[in-house]
Amino acid sequence: MMIPANLGFILTALRLMAALRPFARFAAFSLALVASPAALAQAGDPGDGPHATVSLIAQTKTVTPGQKLQVALVQKIEKGWHTYWVNPGDSGLPTMVEWSLPTGIKAEPIAWPTPKRIPYGPLVSYGYEDQVVLPVTITVPTTVAVGTDVALTGHASWLVCSNVCVPEEGDLKLVLPGAAGPAALDPDNAAIFAAALAQLPTDNPFTAKVSFDKDRIRLHVATGDAGKLTDVGFFPLDEGVIDNDIAPEITAGRDGVTVTLKRAQSKDKPLDTLNGVLVFHDSSAGQDGASHAIRIAAPATAGSVTGGVANAPTIGFAVFIEAVLLAIAGGIVLNLMPCVLPVLSIKALSLVRHAQSAPREVRMQGLAYAAGVLVSFAAVAGALIALRAAGAEIGWGFQLQSPIFLTIMIYVLFAVGLSLSGVFTVGDGAAGLGSELADREGYSGSFFTGALATLVATPCTAPFMAAAIGFAITQPWFVSFAVLEAIGVGLALPYVLLAFSPSARRFLPKPGAWMNSLKQVLAFPVYGTAVWLAFVLSSEAGSIGVTAALAGLVLIAFAAWLYETVRLGEGAGRRIGLAGAALAVVAALALVKITDVSAGASPVADSRPVVAGGVSWQPFSQAKLDAARAEGKPVFVDFTADWCITCKVNERVALADQAVTDAFAAQGIVALRGDWTRRDGEITRILEANGRGGVPLYLFYAKGSSDKPVILPQILTADIVLHSMQGG
């Protein structure tokens, strides 16, 4: 922007204003205007009439005694002009209101929406253009009489600037009748208030750390992987803390956002707390991703700030060992989760068969199973770490967010079920049930069972695992790998201990003919697991994707039948039959692509509320959460996924309990449900911010509370939910 030469005096006055208190700044600016009429003439005549107007509106049509009332100053600003934020920056004055209210009625300070950065030469201001809505909360006492009119009056003053600045003012008046019962929303103003409340900064849900030296201030906010965050900025609430005309250095990393600010000239003064607003745009949901503004109020620590990148957080050995122990405990409990039991029952049958064999052979079977678990966990952990390093916003159980993986798992489990049912046999060792215990195939079967147990177990998050996974995904890759592999150690540990303990094996039943019947019975839980995965696939790929997968199962069944028919034959007939079975499997795998394409073309999830267990659950969004909390309402957030069995059990048992649903209704709790069945970067970051790497996650925000939410356990009961609502 070209600055007229004669504006030098005004710019000098503006620089002076940056160091003065608001009332002195206004006086200095007025003197500058009087002392430099030539500069004003050249800069442009402000003309007659106001360049900004203010009106007062209410969110409701009436006033209810004893309840708070939301009003707002709607400031319409002439094009090319701007007004100012609560911290105007290097120049300007914020809008102010002197209220004249009836006895007992009080007005809270203006709730300031997020401003924009307005540069002018060497100065930078923070303010608004075009139109801004400034909400104000009015406290109404119970003494207000029903049926009488309540007059809200005030006098507003503001500074509006372009090439020149003009102080303006106006009277405000709004009359509303007092009425009993909940006040009805004013439909003419509903959209204005909804948009205004969505633009207000919200409480910071993340951990924030501030360090400073004589030249710089560094703010690090642990948002989780910030690779998809754009348009990151910072607005200071306190004047004279930072040099406003130096743009902040922004660094986005796996562990969050780092903002490095240049200190103002008063850099020798100690900095106790950094107060401000951090803004960013979440592009993980595409071009229409949500914009966020969060309040920062973090204590500052003196120390060296050498650059824009925060030092990697260090952890003590004791913290690492604690995480490993939690991971092992979580892996042990994982054996009891319903998603793992069908596969482990197969291995238990194998253990019964091997129990009377040579001790060395039993131990080798146990080690082969453990190897399958650990190798598979290493593969899953490695993929998770690599994808997150590449910028993907994923968490624990990410593979079940892939329709291709789901379909292949359905095929594998269906094939295992067919083998257990006796439809086909690839040597008994393929299922870990070989009769020749020294046969290499027996070890391969144990290894395969361990791998299969891992793949069906990873969607589950058992108790103890949540803290371990939440810790792991925020650490360097080698720490993450060690903690995630420890979960595999816990999953394999009970079976290995049983294999190495002759006294424990004595309690196992002796093998016999009954085992063949039991093997066939165990096929049905495996089929059930395949059906569960098909249900999950329907949420991700729709009816076309599920139809393609079911057609693939027909081909798998045909391949199994044909293979069993010809496998003991000889000559050309056997070769043709085996080739036909192989072609059927290839055709089934070709259908997998349809499930992926169908998922990409499937419609976006319905945004309408869903009534479940007597509670109306609204689809989660940060904007809905922020709006509800801004209105002082209590909020319960359920982060779930269709493939999370624990989530579904909690939804049908604890969250659908009559006492819980009655409490939701009685307390006016806003119920939000975040569906993580498909990948969702916004939900992933919230999970990480609350120390979780996967679902379920349950958060409760108390009514009117600005504190962080109550985090509920992963396995819920009605009593746990009710206790959390009561502030326990």
Q: What is the pLDDT of residue 75?
A: 95
* Buried b or exposed e, range 614-641, using 16+ CB within 10 angstroms: ebebbebbbbbbbbbbbbeebbbbbbbb
Q: What is the distance between the alpha carbons of residues 500 and 492, in angstroms, rounded to a whole number? A: 12
**Amino acid at site 126:** Y
Least confident range from 51-55, 301-305, 536-540, 681-685: namely 301-305
* 8 A C-beta contact, residue 78 and residue 113: no
Q: What is the pLDDT of residue 463?
A: 64
Q: What is the pLDDT of residue 5?
A: 37
Q: Taking 80 as the threshold, does the pLDDT of residue 307 lie above it?
A: no
Q: What is the pLDDT of residue 499?
A: 84
Least confident range from 129-133, 206-210, 265-269: namely 265-269
Q: What is the pLDDT of residue 458?
A: 67
The domains located in the chain, with CATH, are 5-198 (2.60.40.1250), 208-302 (2.60.40), 317-601 (no CATH), 610-725 (3.40.30.10)
Residue listed under structure tokens 């952990």: 381
Q: Taking 50 as the threshold, does the pLDDT of residue 392 lie above it?
A: yes
**What is the radius of gyration, based on Cα positions, of the chain?**
33
pLDDT, averaged across the chain: 80
Between 365 and 39, the more confident residue is: 365
How many CA atoms within 13 Å lie on the side-chain side of 655? 30
Least confident range from 381-390, 436-445, 658-667, 684-693: namely 436-445
| Apex 261 CA angle, 255 and 264, nearest 5 | 160
Q: Which residues contact 506 (CB under 8 A, 6 or more apart)?
A: none
- Name the band, by pLDDT with cuts 50, 70 and 90, for residue 595: confident
Q: What is the DSSP string of 637-697?
A: EEEE-TT-HHHHHHHHHTTT-HHHHHHHHHHTPEEEEEE-SS--HHHHHHHHHTT-SSS-E
Helix (H) or strand (E) holding 596: helix 571-601
Q: What is the pLDDT of residue 122?
A: 72
* 8 A C-beta contact, residue 508 and residue 351: yes
Q: Which candidate, 502, 522, 506, places its Cα nearest to that of 514? A: 522
Using alpha carbons, list the distances in angstroms from residue 376 to 5, 343, 370, 455, 716: 72, 15, 10, 8, 30
- Name the band, by pLDDT with cuts 50, 70 and 90, for residue 599: low
Q: What is the pLDDT of residue 498?
A: 84
Q: Which candidate, 425, 413, 419, places its Cα nearest to that of 456? A: 413
Q: Which candidate, 465, 501, 522, 485, places its Cα nearest to that of 384? A: 485
Q: Which residues contact 327 (CB under 8 A, 6 or more apart)?
A: 464, 465, 468, 469, 472, 483, 484, 486, 487, 489, 490
Q: What is the pLDDT of residue 315?
A: 54
Q: What is the distance between the alpha carbons of residues 404 and 130, in angstroms, rounded to a whole number? A: 49
Look up residue 420 and give its two tokens: 């257990």
- Name the band, by pLDDT with cuts 50, 70 and 90, for residue 339: low
pTM value is 0.52
Residue listed under structure tokens 């005030």: 154
Q: What is the DSSP string of 97-132?
A: EEEE--TT-EEPPP-PPP-EEEEETTEEEEEEESEE
Look up residue 259 and give its two tokens: 């903002």
Q: Are strands 610-612 and 615-619 parallel, antiparallel or unpaired?
A: antiparallel
Q: What is the distance between the alpha carbons of residues 616 and 610, in angstroms, rounded to a whole number? A: 6
Q: What is the DSSP string of 439-463?
A: SHHHHHHHHHHHHHHHHHHTT---T
Q: Which candidate, 666, 601, 598, 669, places its Cα nearest to that of 632? A: 669
Q: Taking 80 as the threshold, does the pLDDT of residue 697 lie above it?
A: yes
Q: At residue 659, what are phi and psi to the nearest 5 degrees? A: -65, -35
Look up residue 607 and give its two tokens: 């945004």
Phi-psi domain of 654 (left: phi exceeds 0; alpha: psi -120 through 50; beta: other): alpha
Look up residue 706 and give its two tokens: 């600005």
pLDDT in tens, 227-241: 778 889 999 999 888
The 697-701 sheet, strands edge to edge: 610-612, 615-619, 670-675, 635-640, 697-701, 710-711
